[in-house]
Amino acid sequence: MTFPVSDMSTRGFTTAVLHSDRSAGIEHGSLHQPVHNSITFEHATAADIAAVFQGKQAGFTYGRQVNPTVTALERKITLMEGGRATCCVATGMAAISATLLTLLKAGDHVVSSSFLFGNTNSVFNTLALYGIDVSFVDATEAANVDAALRPTTRAVFVETIANPCTQIADLAGIGALCAARGLLYIVDNTMTSPWCFQPRTVGAGLIINSLSKYIGGHGNALGGAITETGAFDWSAYPNILETYRKGDPANWGLQQIRKKGLRDMGATLAPESAHHIAIGAETLALRQDRSSANAARLAAWFAAHPAVARVFHPSLANHPQHERAKALFRHFGGLMAIELKPEVDCFRFLDALQLAVLASNLGDNRTLVIPVAHTIYAEMGPVRRAEMGIADGTVRISVGIEDADDLIADFSHALAAAA
């Protein structure tokens, strides 16, 4: 009994995820793809091993490149994103660096949103050392991206909802621009996850997901994924090596990422982690429904609190991209930030919390808080921080799935203690 990827059109998101392993067929009637810890795989004949290595026959070569547990997770992510194919790697950062380092070369130019995950910002600075120019623009307006384009521009990179101040890129406008100019459009969908938004719908060619966040959801496994949507015409892309210009051009990009990025750079997703993430993915929709509802309730509550100067969450009517979020996303998401009034001691507030956890992650089932200027954005310096709208009293809150009343009680108590 099997149903292919296209059956997402007739089955719901969660049904498809839950039944994806068994529908591909597993021994003993197992419901989960087992954890295959073998790093190599036996072949019956010399002709078989040759055919598998040359990609002429399906099969497994070596664990750095391919593993049945990881393949099963790749199938799930492809289903969730409505894509063509997915390559899983060890972390979200491995997904980003494998993509950029294998598809760009010296002399190329990239336009990126200036509202970025801190480590992604750092990768772009590394690219500059290799002769790849990056322009950071305010991507909430497609016109800013357009104005930064050069004849050497190869790709545009954006996140869906930026961290920590929740700016939302002009996802559809930039998609239309990339389509008109033949540019590769890379969308980091980590903050929304495919349950809230599918970047394929705005013309993304490649989608990045950190599996460590909402998709895994339980804070117990790191992982990353690159999904090919089929929207981009790789035959016109100059950086695809001759070796990978074979077969259907719609597969060339991910093929090159899989070979050059995963096989050669070697940031392989461990099978044990793939299993944890696959189990987490089964409840992605349920968890995000809950965390998004909790976040919207907390945002409204903080907005009315006298100790809070600003609240950043797309659910608020005064959020600059509130209408865009409503039009594009299923939910407003579980991530928010608050800026405390200058007279409120930020560290005293954080130390008074009893339930919300002081930790640097997001998309966990538990509510996590972090003072961003002093931690994740410390290395970036005050100028880029100011550009990103980050103040010293900005606290990022990744809202979990706890009971909302308990969260409000905890924040209420801590604000009182710090005021």
Ligand X SMILES: *Cc1c(COP(=O)(O)O)cnc(C)c1O
Contacts with ligand X, residue ranges (CB under 6 A): 91-93, 117, 120, 159, 163, 188, 190-191, 210, 212-213, 222, 224, 362
173 vs 363 by CB, closer to ligand X: 363
102 vs 193 by CB, closer to ligand X: 193
- The full DSSP string for 68-125 is HHHHHHHHHHHHHHT-SEEEEESSHHHHHHHHHHHH--TT-EEEEESS--HHHHHHHH
Token pair for 305 = 């609190």
Query: How far apart are alpha carbons 342 and 62 in whole angstroms?
Result: 56
118 vs 175 by CB, closer to ligand X: 118
With beta carbons less than 8 A apart as the criterion, state whether 353 and 414 touch. Answer: yes
Q: State in angstroms the smallest separation of the CB of 217 from ligand X.
A: 13
Q: What's at 161, amino acid-wise?
A: I
Q: State in angstroms the smallest separation of the CB of 23 from ligand X.
A: 28
99 vs 190 by CB, closer to ligand X: 190
Q: Which of 175, 169, 178, 232 is nearest to 201 (CA)?
A: 175
Q: State in angstroms the smallest separation of the CB of 307 from ligand X.
A: 27
| Residue found by looking up tokens 């799930």 in the block | 76
Q: State in angstroms the smallest separation of the CB of 109 from ligand X.
A: 22
Token pair for 169 = 């890129």
Q: State in angstroms the smallest separation of the CB of 210 from ligand X.
A: 3
Q: State in angstroms the smallest separation of the CB of 103 from ligand X.
A: 17
Query: How far apart are alpha carbons 175 and 183 in whole angstroms?
Result: 9
288 vs 410 by CB, closer to ligand X: 288
Neighbour order of strands in the sheet with 109-113: 85-89, 224-228, 206-210, 184-188, 153-159, 109-113, 133-137
**How many residues belong to the chain?**
419
Q: State in angstroms the smallest separation of the CB of 369 from ligand X.
A: 15
Q: State in angstroms the smallest separation of the CB of 56 from ligand X.
A: 34
The set of residues, in sequence order, having a beta carbon less than 8 Å from that of 288 and lying 6+ positions away, is: 193, 195, 196, 214, 331, 334
> Would you tell me how many other CB atoms lie within 10 Å of the CB of residue 176?
15
170 vs 410 by CB, closer to ligand X: 170
212 vs 367 by CB, closer to ligand X: 212
208 vs 250 by CB, closer to ligand X: 208
Determine the residue with CB nearest ligand X. Answer: 92
Q: State in angstroms the smallest separation of the CB of 213 from ligand X.
A: 6
For 154, 318, 357, 376, the CA distances from 373, given in Å and listed in that order, are 32, 24, 17, 7
185 vs 244 by CB, closer to ligand X: 185
| Strand ranges, E, within 260-415 | 308-312, 335-340, 357-358, 368-371, 394-398
Query: How far apart are alpha carbons 359 and 8 in whole angstroms?
Result: 36
